[in-house]
Amino acid sequence: MRKKVTVVGAGNVGANCALRIAGKELADVVLVDIVEGVPQGKGLDILQSGPVEGYDVNIVGSNDYGPTANSDIVVITAGFPRKPGMSRDDLLLANYEIVKAATEQAVKHSPNSILILVTNPLDAMCWTAFQVSKFSKNRVIGMAGVLDTARFRTFIAQELEVSVENVTAMVLGGHGDTMVPLARLTSVSGIPLSELMDQATIDRLVDRARNGGAEIVKYLKTGSAYYAPSSAAVEMVESILKDKKKVLPCAAYLEGEYGIKGLFVGVPVKLGARGIEKIFQLRLSADEQAALQKSAAAVQELVDVMKAKMG
């Protein structure tokens, strides 16, 4: 029996998720979008790459959730993208409605699925999906840290002219301007970053990673990043479907870990067949803890806005 993944939203992120899942032969894919013809057309196009690329998976597009029944994972990418000058938070209430509707349908058709959220503002959308789905906390996961660390690792590798594969990094906190890249836990083949570059360089790269999404939005003008975000989401999908138990930074529901309660915040987790199988608690310095609390406070503000809306 092949695995099945539903991708909600057939825009740039969603379509690239579908393409990468097919390319790795991880699962059959159902691409869902409200725009008539778009998921069907993109699904058929990806399907027709199969003979050339050498993958045997089925890909269908749909405007309703019927074909998604019994999905193992539902990846929610649907939502309005950021435009230049917009913060992720400007998107909040518009995307709240979209994620709420998508979650309701996902739960109805795939009650045993694991939800992976990609829609921004990410940590707040995870909270929405968690509330609406009533799923256990291990089955609602946000994609942010994998992307943020990928950006950080890219900039470090470029700076040092080394392979990105040798760079490991850790980023905590909310997805956005308050993320907390942990430079002291970042290394190149085990060599601490502090032995390879001075503090000013580290600070510059941290800052660039933090604004990595905004930098791309500025160039594109009419949309936001999608190649790296889809790669990051698919790394999570793969770790779950293959029960790889990769340790990845993801947005997880915290119940007192790191002194944070009732919020989704980016932390290192073990991703396996059951979703989040363990949350790793790192010993943080006072500065790191303060930065993480600030990040959590920013997430709390968004959640409070949505709670008021839900009344």
Span 261-271, pLDDT tens digits: 999 999 999 99
Judging by DSSP bridges, how do beta strands 59-62 and 73-76 pair with one another? Answer: unpaired
* pLDDT value for 47: 98
* pLDDT value for 93: 87
**Mean pLDDT across the chain:** 95
Domain with CATH 3.40.50.720 in the chain: 4-142
What are 181's strand-pairing partners? Answer: 171
- HSE-up (13 A, CA, CB side) for residue 300: 10
Distances (CA, A) of 215 to 124, 201, 218: 22, 18, 5
Token match 């019927």: residue?
66
* pLDDT value for 88: 62
Question: Stretch 243-250: mean pLDDT, rounded?
Answer: 98
Q: How far is 309 from 51, CA to CA, in rounded Å?
A: 49
pLDDT (tens digit per residue) in 31-44: 999 999 999 999 99
The whole-model pTM stands at 0.96
Classify 84 in phi/psi space as left (phi over 0), alpha (psi -120 to 50) or beta.
Answer: beta
Band (174; pLDDT cuts 50, 70, 90): confident
Question: Stretch 211-219: mean pLDDT, rounded?
Answer: 93
Band (222; pLDDT cuts 50, 70, 90): confident
Question: Stretch 15-23: mean pLDDT, rounded?
Answer: 98
Among 143-152, 177-186, 279-288, whose mean pLDDT is lowest? Answer: 177-186
* pLDDT value for 263: 97
Is 3.30.360.10 the CATH number for 145-310?
Answer: no
* pLDDT value for 122: 92
Question: For the domain bounded by 4-142, which CATH number is listed?
Answer: 3.40.50.720
Rounded to the nearest 5 percent, the helix, strand and coil shares of the chain are: 50, 20, 30
Q: How far is 190 from 169, CA to CA, in rounded Å?
A: 11
* pLDDT value for 84: 73
109 among known catalytic residues = no
Domain with CATH 3.90.110.10 in the chain: 145-310
Question: Stretch 135-158: mean pLDDT, rounded?
Answer: 97
Higher pLDDT, 222 or 295: 295
pLDDT (tens digit per residue) in 83-126: 777 776 678 988 999 999 999 999 999 999 999 999 999 999 99
Helix (H, G, I), strand (E, B) or coil at 87: coil
What element of type H or E holds 142?
Answer: strand 140-142
Helix (H, G, I), strand (E, B) or coil at 117: strand
Question: Stretch 182-209: mean pLDDT, rounded?
Answer: 96
What share of the chain has pLDDT > 90, as a percent?
A: 89
**pLDDT at residue 311 tops 80:** no
Judging by DSSP bridges, how do beta strands 59-62 and 140-142 pair with one another? Answer: unpaired
Residue 100 in tokens: 């709420």
Question: Stretch 219-228: mean pLDDT, rounded?
Answer: 92
Question: Stretch 293-298: mean pLDDT, rounded?
Answer: 94
**pLDDT at residue 310 tops 80:** no
* pLDDT value for 223: 84
Distances (CA, A) of 188 to 7, 128, 194, 257, 269: 34, 37, 10, 28, 21
The alpha-helical segments, DSSP class H, found in the chain are 12-23, 38-47, 50-53, 92-109, 122-133, 145-160, 199-210, 212-220, 227-241, 286-310
* pLDDT value for 14: 98
Band (309; pLDDT cuts 50, 70, 90): confident
One of 151, 175, 210, 270 is an active-site residue; which one?
A: 175
| Cis amide leading into 121 (omega within 30) | yes
In terms of Cβ atoms closer than 10 Å to its own Cβ (0-12, 13-18, 19+), residue 161 is: exposed
Q: How far is 174 from 184, CA to CA, in rounded Å?
A: 19
